[in-house]
Chains A and B, each alone.
Chain A
Amino acid sequence: MTLRQRYADEAVSESIGFIIIFGLVVTGIALVSLYGYPMLLKQQISSDERTMEQTMLILQNDMKLLSYSNVPYKDTSLRVSGGGLNVFNTTDSQQSFTIRYWNETGGYTETLVFRPGELRYTSSAGNAVISLENGAILKRQQDATGSIMIAEPRWFYDATTQTYVIFLLGIQADRPMALSGIGNIQMSRIIEPTVISWDYAVPRNVSVRYTADPQNDYSLAWENYFTGSGILAGGLTPLGTEYDLANISKFVLKAYVIRIEHI
């Protein structure tokens, strides 16, 4: 008698199999719409913010070309998604930079107050705010106090000649302008920069103060820039609310005004 192996498959039912597979599919769909979809939305918001950071970098480069490289006009197309980009004129900006320096011919300390104006992106879905202010790109969260500097302006101190160079970049707009979606921004620099240049017989010190807009506070980002190694190794010395640099033989300050023609 031969031993016949029997495969017991009487209990295998196609309808049960179908129910199990169908149940798995429905559970999968439910999980995706419950957890996956909000995650995708969050991803979309953060990718919008990252795109905006890069757009700001492009705009900063354009402004560098307009100011440092003497290009008179620049036209850039850009996409602003998940929020709006606003232009603030120099006179509208609440924040300001106060620079105190020695006037060599007059023999006294002079104070210059500079209002930079601003290009500000405010995320409507998320809570990030990204600004282009005085040649720097700054970012903060609407519900938090801190702020960071994404890209620094080009202030520098040349140790060999003891020269301190400060660049100020103001944004001028004839009327309030805003952009959401695809558009292009036209910027020009027709006005010659205001230049303050002193050769000091005795080394002097120059101090800078940043006064923040209480509604849009970037003081921490600027503090980190002044005290970090962006300008010189070791940074500026904090003296109360001011940031001081001593032993300067030559001081150069250039204030550029960039006009936003249209956005």
Chain B
Amino acid sequence: MERLDDEAQWIVLMGFIVSIGIFFLAIIISQSTIVGQTTSEAVLEFPKTEIQDVRSEVIGLAKAWEVTANAGELAKRAAVLEDLRVLAMARKNAVLTVSVDPVTLADDPFNESRITIHFNNGVTEYDEFHKEYIEK
């Protein structure tokens, strides 16, 4: 009588383990495309450069604007800020409100300019209150 040959049992068992492993890997891979999609979308939609542009523009304006201004100058400033608002809506589809308020600081080598920025494009809302110090 021949002896029963059971050496191949390990090969069959390993085959099982490997196939189950591949099955789970396939599930993980099928999930990863969804995750990649939503993550890249979130990165794409975040308005980083838009906010940075507005911020640098407004701070640049605040640096140039003196504390004392006549009525004509004030009207011009209001028009510039209004233009920023209209541009943000037209080009970036975002609601933007900006205010720049220069204040004289007594006994100080610097003047203060109080800036508020409100930005909202439906996905990201950004609010900032910033004090810019300008040399007298």
Q: Which residues of A contact B (CB under 8 A)?
A: 9, 12, 47, 54, 57-58, 61, 64, 68, 70, 154-156, 158, 160-161, 163, 165, 167, 195, 197, 250, 252, 254
Contact = CB atoms under 8 A, between A and B. Distances in A.
A154 B118 CA distance: 18
A167 B95 contact: no
B34 A158 contact: no
B9 interface: no
Across the A-B interface, give the 6 residue pairs with the lowest CB-CB distance, nearest first.
Answer: A156-B122, A158-B95, A154-B122, A158-B120, A163-B95, A68-B93
B123 A160 contact: no
B33 A54 contact: yes
B47 to A, nearest CB: 10
Interface residues of B, number: 22
B44 interface: yes
Interface string B107-118: 000000000001
Interface of B: 1, 30, 33-34, 37, 41, 44-45, 89-93, 95, 97, 118, 120-123, 125, 127
A254 B89 CA distance: 10
B1 A165 contact: no
Contacts of A9: 1
Contacts of B92: 68
A160 B120 contact: yes
Contacts of B93: 68, 154, 165, 167, 254
A119 to B, nearest CB: 18
Contacts of B1: 9, 12
Given A9-B1, A165-B93, A252-B89, A156 B120 contact: yes
Nearest to B33: A54
A92 to B, nearest CB: 27
Contacts of B127: 160
